[in-house]
Structure formats: C-alpha cells, structure tokens
C-alpha cells in the first residue's frame, strides 16, 4: 500500500480551498452543504483523501462552481505539471481574487513580475 499523497489530489484540494476562501465560507458550512464532516473537507483540501466524482459535483454546487473548474488544468502550456499544487499557490490566488480594486491588483501583479525577474 502506498500512503503517498497524490499531486493531483493536492491540486484539486487546493482549488476547493481557494474557492471556499474566496466565498468566505467555513469548512463546516461547505461540509454541511456537501453532506460530509468538516474533517473530511480538511482531508480533501490537503489532498489526503481523494474526492469522488459525485462528491466533487456536490462540493462544486455548494461553491457555486463546476466540477470541471475544481478539476482544473493539470498541466500548463510549458509542461510544468500541477503548478497549482505548489505550496502557497492556492492562498496567493485566493488573496489576489479577494482584491476588489483593479489598481491594487495591477500593483500586486507588477510586484510579482518584478520578483520573478
């Protein structure tokens, strides 16, 4: 038996978490809507447990999203597999989406590009 966490499950969990945080709902609220415990949502978000297709659709409905959006792009155009699984990416995306002022978004993007080199 292999107890390793699958990067695909981590990426899907990260998108679930980012969307949940974007909507400012708790794990308990998401769990209630999806018919699971908040502990199970924690496991999905960390990629510890794999989300079934049926459960993913229930979660997507609560998050006002689609299963396809939560599955996301698993490979970038440059071939950098599972870019969204990198530590901090989901949190950074959620924070960026939370910025309402377009000028502030542009400023943050300029800073990020400057740090990238």
Q: How many CB atoms lie within 10 A of CB 92?
A: 14
Q: Is the pTM of this model over 0.85?
A: no
Please name each of the domains of the chain with its CATH number: 7-116 (1.10.260.40)
**Euclidean distance between CA atoms 34 and 90, whole angstroms:** 21
Q: Which residue has the higher pLDDT, 3 or 70?
A: 70
Count of residues for the chain? 117
Phi and psi, residue 80, nearest 5°: -80, 95
**Euclidean distance between CA atoms 62 and 56, whole angstroms:** 10
pLDDT value of position 2: 58
pLDDT in tens, 7-37: 889 999 999 999 999 999 999 999 999 999 9
pLDDT in tens, 103-115: 998 898 899 888 8
**Euclidean distance between CA atoms 15 and 71, whole angstroms:** 8
How would you classify residue 82: left for phi > 0, otherwise alpha for psi between -120 and 50, otherwise beta? left
pLDDT in tens, 41-70: 999 999 999 999 999 999 999 999 888 889
């Amino acid at each position: 038996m292999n107890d390793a966490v699958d990067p695909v499950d981590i990426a899907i969990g990260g998108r679930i978490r980012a969307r949940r945080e974007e909507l400012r709902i708790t794990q308990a609220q998401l769990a209630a809507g999806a018919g699971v415990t908040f502990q199970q949502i924690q496991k999905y978000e960390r990629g510890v447990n794999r989300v079934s297709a049926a459960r993913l659709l229930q979660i997507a409905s609560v998050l006002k999203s689609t299963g396809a959006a939560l599955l996301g792009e698993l490979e970038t155009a440059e071939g950098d597999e599972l870019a969204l699984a990198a530590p901090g990416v989901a949190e950074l995306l959620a924070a960026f989406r939370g910025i309402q002022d377009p000028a502030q978004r542009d400023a943050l993007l300029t800073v990020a590009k400057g740090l990238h080199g």
